[in-house]
Amino acid sequence: MNNILVTRTDRLGDVILSFPVAAALKAHDPGVTATFLVSEYVAPVVRLCPWIDDCIAVPQTGESASLVTTLRERAFDAVLCL
C-alpha cells in the first residue's frame, strides 16, 4: 500500500492532532504517499506539515461531484478515517 488517504474533516485542532498519523506512516514505509482529506478552511495549515504529501480540500459549497471524481482518479490503496 503506497497511496493512503487520511480523512479528518472537522476542526483545525483535531486535524493538527492527526499529523502524527502521517509521521507514523512515513516511519513505517518512507515510500508511502500520505494524502489528507480535510475541510477547505484547514487545508492551508495541512499543506505546511512535512509528513503530508498532498491535501484534498472538501469544498464548503457542496460541490461533491468534483470531490468524488478526484477521489476516484487518485485510486487510493487504503483510507484511514480518523
Q: What is the pLDDT of residue 62?
A: 66
Q: What is the pLDDT of residue 66?
A: 83
Residues whose CB falls within 8 Å of the CB of residue 15, separated by 6 or more in sequence, listed in order: 8, 36, 38, 39, 42, 45, 46
The DSSP line for 2-40 is -EEEEE--S-HHHHHHTHHHHHHHHHH-TT-EEEEEEET
pTM: 0.89
Angle formed at CA 2 by CA 75 and CA 10, multiple of 5 degrees: 70
The grid coordinates of residue 21 equal 498519523
Query: pLDDT means per 10 residues in the chain (82 residues)?
Result: 90 93 95 95 95 92 79 94 92
CATH class, range 3-81: alpha beta
